[in-house]
Structure 1
Amino acid sequence: MNQGKLCERQQQRLQLGDDPLEKDDNRTANMTSKERVIRITYLITAVDLTCMCMQFGIVPYLATNLGLDAVGFGYVQTVFGILQLLGGPIFGRFADQFGSRAALTLSYLAGSLCFFLLSVATNIPLLFLSRVPAIFMHGLPGAQMVLTDLTTPAKRADALGKLGLCFGVGIIIGSSLGGTLTTKFGVYFPCYVALTGCLTCSLIAFIFIPTQTKPQLKKDAAHPNESSPNSVFSVKAIIRLMRIPGVMDIFLIKIFSGVPTGVFQVMFSIISINFFGLEAAETGYLMAYCGILQMVNQGLIIGKLTNHFTERTLLMLSVLVMCGVGIGMALMTNVIHYCFILPPMMFSFGTVAVITDIILTKSVPASETGAMLGLSSSVAPLTRTIGPTIGGFLYRRFGVAAFGYLHLMVNIFLFLYLLNKNVPPKEGKIKS
């Protein structure tokens, strides 16, 4: 009798489509699909960042050829930074409302337009016009949004950290390729190569990235957040996100920790020539070294650390390490010293960036992670916008040592701030 009942139940389950084996197959297929999307995201991010890094070797030469001096080139960079600063939150809201595929495709098409305009920039107005698409050029934040949607909090640090591998590839290949192509074929040829790369990325994103990657989409659609306006350009929605408990604290940490390193990076081209006495090729080797360090740190180290230490511990450790970096920068006298300072600097800078992004994405519903990452991505353009003014003043007035003292003072303040604040509000080690 029991056996008969068991067979009947099994048949009923099969008729209702409640076969456990079928569920397992569906779950496995879903995991495989997610892994494929994640791998494709890494691929197109590496290509996109390679194209973006190529313009670092293109724009300065093009500006010089068109007759712009250092001040004029500074205006070009400032316009680029301001547009990226304004576009970050808009891009994040766009991704939340229209999906990852639309957001990434828009970003890569904007990059294509940027390089097309650079390829026909035969005068200064066209050079400035080529900066306008920057408002939608957010390939890296777009990739972060996809990975945030497709990974659990336990695996998010490792997934986001591996984007450092893509960034390292972009720096190493993009910087060297841009310079080599410019030298051999002229300043406009790398624009055509980068244009082709961005168009290829947009095509891959359109074909292989799902329309929507958010796991909570159906649930959120059934219970929409009425306080969240539907407009992509809603200022109220951005203000509401900033008012979430703990979010403003994380943003302050992210901004203040990034300013000293960002200001130094903005001034690095001048420092490498005037202080280190490097030639263009030697500067390229140093940039490649930075790229390798970033790949190792974010791709291999940060993910493992989050399995053993709490987010708060990692933030405090990074701040303490950066204090030591500040002392080293204040005392350095040559490029060899700088090479020894770079590993802890890259570790601290990368760890703070990844950990703060993880905390921010966990502080909002799945339906608004894009907007939060868009806001987070505006921190780097903010540094690039104010960096030349602060960096130029410090360098002219106090020399390279001033950047070390700035690192030290800011990070002492941050360490004291972390000691007195419960950051993040919900403490706990990320467990796999």
Structure 2
Amino acid sequence: MQKVIFITYIITVLEITWMFLQFSITPYLAKRLGMDTLWFGYLQTTVGVIQLLGGPLFGRFADIFGARMALATSCLASVMYFLLLGFTNSVPLLFIHKLPAVFMHILPGAQMVVTDLTEPEKRTDALGKLGLCFGIGMITGSSLGGFLSTHYGESFAAFVGAGGSLLSTVLVISFIPKHTKKQPGAQEHVDKKAKAGSVFNLSEIARLMKFPGVAKIFAVKITSGVPQGAFQVMFSIITMNFFQLQAAQTGYLLAYFGVVQMVIQGAVIGRMTSMYSESNLLLLSIGVASIVGVAQALMSNVIEFCFIVIPMMFSLCTFNVITDSMLTKSVPSSDTGTMLGLCASVQSLMRTVGPTIGGFLYQNYGVSSFGYIQLVVNTLLLVYLMKSGISKREEH
């Protein structure tokens, strides 16, 4: 099982590399095609809607047909995504190439494998190591994307991503078992077969919200994610207009993000989860997010932002790992895939509403508004959680 988890980490690194490769070329391709900030926001919203719809269904698909089938589908969709991007020469095609993103959920797919193959008490640390893989992919993808697009053009960089995703597909088929969940009992097996055709059964997906604590953690995840999501989806515009960075410089900045995330998820989160309860770490991450909001509101250049990145990434990484772990532990093992798909849909929801909120804030109130919104939202959320006694209930 450790070998399977290790291969899953490698696949995650590869796919995150290609994802950040396109992150570092798409804004500049859009600008070259004459797309303004407003239309770029519409493009981001389109991706968010597509993945918002696909996330829960992808998780349900994995629970029924197995993580290998789900991961292979995600990688093949990524191949198609990059091929279409490589041939994009107009704004309509730039929108069309986003359609395969409905199946592109590599990180939730990897989380499903890791969740299935680890014990609950070791799950947080294992999921944290996936964040380490994310950081490695962020570094290599951002640097590679900036280099390739600058020296060989956006199309060539996109075709490199297509070839890389094809390699990931081969690894998935060759090394990931067809089923990674523990073998169910006889009655559970019958129930599973009865539900085999119910990928689109929305009531089965919504049923997970009824488990104790799930709805509350989801509400916290969404509420705290709104200001962060608005900043993230507008980040490429901020780097171009506010920080005045070129494509290669943006790639280096994203690579720096990756280094910070690697250190936090590889050396910090695992140790902290062994020392403190998940609820206390959740409160800590939200409190740090409030402080980061103040710093973002006051920053004036990219050097200051580089210092802010450290607590920002700590808050973001800790928050995502802890909430995902808490949610998967709140449902039966047979539904962890669907739950992780729902978790992924939260990020997609942020990409859906984020461009509209972020574009409005940026054009009317400037970059500082993102920080003030984050400060207010997370401070109120922290007060609410402390008054609701989340730590005491977990200990009980």
Match in the other structure for 1:296: 263
Ranges in structure 1 where 5+ consecutive residues have no aligned partner: 1-33
The structural deviation recorded for 1:188 is 1.2
1:208 equivalent in alignment to 2:178: no
**Residue 39, structure 1, aligned to residue 27, structure 2:** no
Preserved contact between residue 25 and residue 247 of structure 2 (Cα < 8 Å): no
Q: TM-score, normalised by structure 2?
A: 0.94
For the residues of structure 2 that align with 1:81 and 1:51, how far apart are their CA atoms? 18
1:135 counterpart residue number: 102
Tell me the equivalent position of 1:197.
164
Higher deviation after alignment, 137-146 or 162-171: 162-171
2:135 paired with 1:173: no
Shift of 1:65: 4.1
CA distance in 2, matches of 1:277, 1:183: 16
CA contact (8 A) 1:83 1:134 kept: yes
- CA offset digits 1:378-412 (Å, max 9, x no partner): 11111111112211222233222222211111111
State the SS of the aligned residue for 1:188. Answer: helix
Structure 1 counterpart of 2:72, which letter? T
Aligned mates of 1:158, 1:384 — CA distance in 2: 27
CA distance in 1 between counterparts of 2:201 and 2:108 reads: 19
Q: Does residue 145 of structure 1 match 2:116?
A: no
Superimposed CA distance per residue, residues 364-385 of structure 1 (whole angstroms, 9 cap, x where no aligned partner): 1111000000000011111111
Instruction: Kindly state the Cα deviation for residue 47 of structure 1 after the two structures are TM-superposed.
Output: 0.4
Query: By how many angstroms is 1:346 displaced?
Result: 0.8
Match of 1:257 among 201, 205, 224: 224
Look up the match of 2:377. Answer: 410
- In structure 2, the partner of 1:305 is 272
- Aligned pairs for 1:345-364 within 5 A: 345-364=312-331
Mapping 1:25-424, distance limit 5 Å: 34-218=1-185, 221-222=188-189, 224=191, 230-423=197-390
- Tell me how far apart the structure 2 counterparts of residues 344 and 357 of structure 1 sit (CA, whole Å): 20
Task: Report the Cα offset of residue 290 of structure 1.
Answer: 1.1
Stretch of structure 1 that moved more, 143-152 or 75-84? 75-84
| 1:219–1:400 CA distance, 2 compared to 1 (3 A) | farther
RCO (CA 8 Å, sep 6+): is it higher in 1 or 2? 2
After superposition, give the CA deviation of every residue in 1:150-208 in whole Å (9 maximum; x if it has no partner).
11112111111111221112211112211211222222111221111111111110110
Q: Could you give the per-residue CA deviations for residues 97-129 of structure 1, whole angstroms, max 9, x where no partner exists?
A: 000110000000010111122222344433322
> Is the Cα contact below 8 Å between 1:220 and 1:367 reproduced in 2?
no
Cα offset, 1:422, TM superposition: 5.0
The one-letter code matched in structure 1 to 2:53 is: L
Q: C-alpha separation between the residues in 2 aligned to 1:216 and 1:416?
A: 43
SS in 2 for 1:265: helix
What count of residue pairs does the alignment treat as equivalent? 396
Q: Mark the CA change 1:220 to 1:247 in structure 2 (over 3 Å): closer, same or farther.
A: farther
Query: 1:106 is aligned with what amino acid?
Result: T
Query: How far apart are the structure 2 equivalents of 1:40 and 1:264?
Result: 33
Q: CA deviation at 1:222?
A: 3.9
Q: Distance in 1 between matches of 2:166 and 2:187?
A: 33
Q: What percentage of aligned pairs have identical amino acids?
A: 55
The answer to whether the 8 Å contact 1:249/1:423 transfers is no
Task: Select between 314-323 and 43-52 the one with higher mean Cα deviation.
Answer: 314-323
1:246·1:423 contact (CA, 8 Å) conserved in 2?
no
When residues 225 and 41 of structure 1 are mapped into structure 2, their CA distance, relative to the original with a 3 A threshold, is: closer
Work out which of the two has the higher radius of gyration on C-alpha atoms and give 1 or 2.
Answer: 1
**What CA distance in whole angstroms lies between the structure 2 residues aligned with 1:137 and 1:120?**
19
| Distance (whole Å) between structure 2 residues aligned to residue 254 and residue 279 of structure 1 | 33
Which amino acid in the other structure matches residue 87 of structure 2?
Answer: V
The residue type paired with residue 180 of structure 1 is F
Cα distance in 2 for partners of 1:134, 1:425 equals 41
Q: In the TM superposition, what is the alpha-carbon distance from 1:216 to its structure 2 partner?
A: 4.5
User: Measured at CA, do residues 342 and 69 of structure 1 come closer, stay the same or move farther in structure 2, by a change above 3 Å?
Assistant: closer
Of stretches 68-77 and 47-56 in structure 1, the one that deviates more from structure 2 is: 68-77
Indicate if the aligned counterparts of 2:111 and 2:127 stay in contact, CA closer than 8 A: yes
Taking only aligned residues, the RMSD between alpha carbons, in angstroms, comes to 2.2
Amino acid of the structure 2 residue aligned with 1:389: T
User: Aligned letter for 1:206?
Assistant: I
